[in-house]
Structure formats: structure tokens, C-alpha cells
Amino acid sequence: MSLSDIDIAQQAKLLRIAKIAEKLGIPDTHLEPYGHYKAKVSLDFINDLKGRPDGKLILVTAVSPTPAGEGKTTTTVGLGDALNRIGKKTVICLREPSLGPVFGMKGGAAGGGRAQVVPMEDINLHFTGDFNAIALANNLLAATIDNHLHHGNALGIDVRRITWRRVVDMNDRALRDIVVGLGGTGNGYPREEASTSSWHPRSWPFSVSRRRSRISNTGSETWSSPIHASRNRFE
């Protein structure tokens, strides 16, 4: 009987992340551990690499998965393993999976079979908590907009044209078109709103200052012009 992806992942003997970092020449001072098997690398370390010669980049893209699950991630992980096996110093770069598709037909996003990233369950379900942090920040801004409307709407926001949506990291079809603000005057202005997945902000730039700038230039509309988060220090 063949093993499932999760059986293979749970039987794998994991190396501690500090050992992997040591092999890659990443000092402990630039490592932010999340337990024994996950860590973030500081941007200062990445900036320190600017003087080194560029390596070779292989881009794996536009692969439609087969019924067996052979797609971009599985191909990338397998290729990385193969290159390391023949002595090439290789690191793969994958996007963090959104929780939305994990329980659907697509399944997880950590590869499959013997070509997967572990700990698979952690990566697919929570990882380092970034998705939750992004969703909370996004929804805080949405709540701030509604709070501003409740307390007089000094900026003249057109409640019919609010474009900032609440987000949830889940494919929940019941939330695709909802009505918010029901229950009386204390709960805001009733209006239709479509929640969306929180995966899209993951394309934001690394730099904190650039992220702040992008958030500052988002917002809703007044009766005559766009209004940005920075105008009322929402960012």
C-alpha cells in the first residue's frame, strides 16, 4: 500500500533549522527561529549578499498539476533535491500557501510524495503567523473606516463606494457577498460587501517603508475624489 503525502511527511527525519542555516552560511544572529524547524532570515543578511556574484536562477512556472499532484511546487522541490544531490549549492524559493485551498480539491502547497517541504502541516496551516497578521491589519483598517463613518464622517467618505474589503484566509463561499452593518445605528451603515482571501498582500515588497507607503495610498472614495489612508493617519 502506497503512503500518502502526510504519511511521508510525518515519517521524515527533520534537520533543525539552525543546522540548515549553518550549511547555507547564515549566522545565528540573522536567524529568527519559530520553533526548531522553521525560521525567518533577516533582511540585513540579504543586504549583506549584494557584493557577491549572482547565482543562477531557474524559474518553474505555468505548470498545470496532474491528477497525481505533480505541479510547480513538486517540480521545484524535486529539482532542488536533485541539484543538491549532484553537489550544487541550491536553495528553492516558494510562496507561502494560503489556507483557502488546503481543504479543497487543490489541497496543500508544500509539494507531494518524496518531493515536499516539511513540516508540511505547519506550512499549510499556520507557518509563522504572517497571514493572520496581514488579515488583522487589513481588517483593522476596515474597522477604522466604519468607525470614522459612525463618528460623523468628517472626510466625507461615500458609503456606496467603499473599496476596502475585509479579508479571511479561507475559501468560504458564504462570505463572497454579504451585508454588513445590520442591527441598528450602533452597528454602522448597512451595505453589501464581498470579503476576499488574504493571500494577495503577500505580493507586497519586503521593505517596511514601502509596505507602509502602499497602505497609505489605499482607501475609499469621497463624493468627488479618492481618499487615502494616510489622510487620517489610518496607516
Residue 1 CA to residue 100 CA, distance in Å, equals 30
| Contact present, 107 and 101 (Cβ < 8 Å) | yes
Residue 223 CA to residue 51 CA, distance in Å, equals 51
Q: What does the pLDDT profile of the chain (235 residues) look like in tens digits?
A: 688 888 999 999 999 999 999 999 999 999 999 999 999 999 899 888 888 898 999 999 877 777 777 788 899 999 999 999 999 999 999 988 877 777 766 677 788 889 999 999 899 888 998 888 888 988 998 898 899 889 988 888 888 888 888 888 887 888 888 888 899 888 888 888 876 665 554 455 555 666 566 555 555 555 567 777 776 565 5
- Residue 111 DSSP symbol: E
**What global pTM score does this model have?**
0.77
58: left (phi over 0), alpha (psi -120 to 50) or beta: beta
Residue 48 CA to residue 35 CA, distance in Å, equals 25
